[in-house]
Amino acid sequence: MNLEDVFCSKLRMKILKIIAQVGELNVSEIARRLGANYQTTSTHLKILEDEGILQHKVFGRIRLYRLNEHSPKAKAVQKLIDAWEHANKQ
Amino acid sequence: MPQYRSIFKDETKLDINFVPYRLPHRNRELHLLMEFFSFALQFPERMTQRVMITGDVGTGKTVLSQRFGADITREANKRGVNLRYVHVNCREYRGSLFLILHHIVSIFHPNFPKRGYSAEELLRMLLRILDDESTYVILALDEFESLIEREGSEAVYKLTRLQEIRQNKPQRLSLVCILRNLKAIEQLDASTRSTLQSNIITLEKYSKEQLIDILNDRVSLAFKPSTVPEDTVSLIGELAFSEAGNARFGIELLWRAGKYADAEDLGVVTPECVRKAVSSIYPAVRKNDLAFLSLHEKLFLLGIAKFLKESQKAYISLAEAEQAYAVACEEFNENSHSHTQLWKYLQNLSNVSILKTEVSVIGSRGRSTIIYLPRISAHELEKELWALLEKGQE
């Protein structure tokens, strides 16, 4: 996927922001914080995972998503969000 | 502007959660715990351990376990073993196995959801996390009774036998169960009991001398030099001993007495500060108790209170009390009673816990009775007695 295709979605940007801030979260909680339904959230999470930005771990029925620590894309996303938040605070 | 000078060097050393580097009179038990878990430093994956620590309130169960936890974790890290000590107060989690396990899991995954699975599933998840991270956990379950009360044998059984469902996998979870007495264990079924009862460390009640050692240790950590006299420490030791050898009570009293000394800018923690501190913890001696005393009991007590207030001492000998009583009698135009009669008053006042007596050995001259006020400040007591005696004269 092209950069613009990944980042054109407001929900995907919000997902990245939430995960960058809290570190790790399960699908239902991400959906709750987004104000979106479970299915929509899952779809966006899958897209971000397919791009290598996110990774997940399964514990029974629970999927915990986090930034993929081995991915340069994830590192760039984390830096972008940190810089953005920092600049907004100043 | 007057400068505020505190007698404290670092009052956090008197906090209930502070774990001192040295544990006076608990070294043997600490070594024993380290012995029980020595495998964890060499072959952590090959076995797990279960130990129970029992003892009354304030005998050092929690601090012993926490000191051990800090020591073994440091030693394990030095050897490259990924070991974590997790201390959980079961009562804080209402004795729920689910909440306790959730707390442990959330150490590894802070946002782990709270809903959607059972305690058993959570236990399996925990083991998977430990496998994934090649981590070993020593789980200290403080106030273990509340877990037994709420969950019964089933939960304890699950915790102690979980390796049986994980054949050929590394052993991950050891237990330290901390409880006041072993009676709670009797509620468990025989097979669960048998998995727990092999290693028991029983902490005996501290003696007065041991409590004084502990208090002196904390004094040197928390207070500036020469601000807490020996007399004061001895009085606190005495009071803590009378509270079933409760060291925690003694340490709290020490802190509180320090606060009273600071509030009055005394620069030193006097026995009177301790008495004020005690009366702030306990309900002070009830006015009713004083009102029902006979005139001469009141006068006797007044003499003692005045002496302790003016001398700033922790104790008064019976001979000194008799002299102080004679002065009080003069003040109220009363003839003083005999020594035998005073002895009876002393017993009576001691029985109603207004004062306490102790027999001490002074040099080679034999035994002597010393008297102290455990629960009320001498100042407060004097004020109350004056009011009552003056009212009686009207």
Q: What are the structure tokens assigned to B366, written together? A: 């034999």
CB contact, 8 Å: A28 with chain B? Answer: yes
- Closest CA of chain A from B275, distance in Å: 50
The complex's ipTM works out to 0.73
Q: Verify whether the Cβ–Cβ distance B113 to A60 is below 8 Å.
A: no
User: Could you give the CA distance from residue B349 to residue B290 in angstroms, rounded to a whole number?
Assistant: 10
Q: Report the residue of A38, A62, A63, A67 to disrupt the B interface, i.e. the one with the largest count of B CBs within 10 Å.
A: A62
CA distances A70 to A52, A82, B111, Å, are 9, 18, 21
Q: Verify whether the Cβ–Cβ distance A62 to B111 is below 8 Å.
A: no
B356-361 and B200-203 strand pairing: unpaired
Residue A71 lies in a domain: yes
pLDDT at A41 over 90: yes
CATH code, domain with A40: 1.10.10.10
Count up the domains in chain A and report the number.
1
Q: Verify whether the Cβ–Cβ distance A64 to B111 is below 8 Å.
A: yes
**Closest-CA residue to B14 (of B250, B272, B267):** B250
User: Could you give the CA distance from residue A7 to residue B52 in angstroms, rounded to a whole number?
Assistant: 56
Question: Residue B283 has what pLDDT?
Answer: 53
Q: In chain B, what residues touch A60 (CB-CB under 8 Å)?
A: 117, 121, 124-125
User: Could you give the CA distance from residue B155 to residue B173 in angstroms, rounded to a whole number?
Assistant: 14
Q: Verify whether the Cβ–Cβ distance A60 to B121 is below 8 Å.
A: yes
Q: Which residues contact B139 (CB under 8 A, 6 or more apart)?
A: B86, B88, B104, B159, B173, B174, B175, B176
H or E segment to which residue B305 belongs:
helix B295-311
Q: Verify whether the Cβ–Cβ distance A23 to B111 is below 8 Å.
A: yes
pLDDT at A44 over 80: yes
Question: Residue B296 has what pLDDT?
Answer: 93
- Identify residue B268 by its one-letter amino acid code: V
- Pick the last residue of a domain from B223, B246, B281: B281
Residue A43 lies in a domain: yes
pLDDT at A6 over 80: yes
Residue A44 lies in a domain: yes
Q: In chain A, what residues touch B128 (CB-CB under 8 Å)?
A: 59
Question: Residue B57 has what pLDDT?
Answer: 85
CB contact, 8 Å: B120 with chain A? Answer: no
Question: Residue B361 has what pLDDT?
Answer: 67
Q: Verify whether the Cβ–Cβ distance A61 to B117 is below 8 Å.
A: yes
Length reported for chain A: 90
Average pLDDT for consecutive 10-residue bins of chain B (394 residues)? 79 91 94 91 85 92 96 94 94 89 93 86 91 93 91 86 77 92 85 81 94 96 94 93 88 93 92 87 64 88 93 89 93 90 88 81 70 84 86 66
Residue B12 lies in a domain: no
Parent domain of B92:
27-203
CB contact, 8 Å: A58 with chain B? Answer: no
Q: Report the residue of B98, B101, B109 to disrupt the A interface, i.e. the one with the largest count of A CBs within 10 Å.
A: B109
Following DSSP, what letter does each residue of B311-352 receive, concatenated? H--S-EEHHHHHHHHHHHHHHTT-PPPPHHHHHHHHHHHHHT
- Pick the last residue of a domain from B169, B186, B203: B203
Parent domain of A76:
10-89
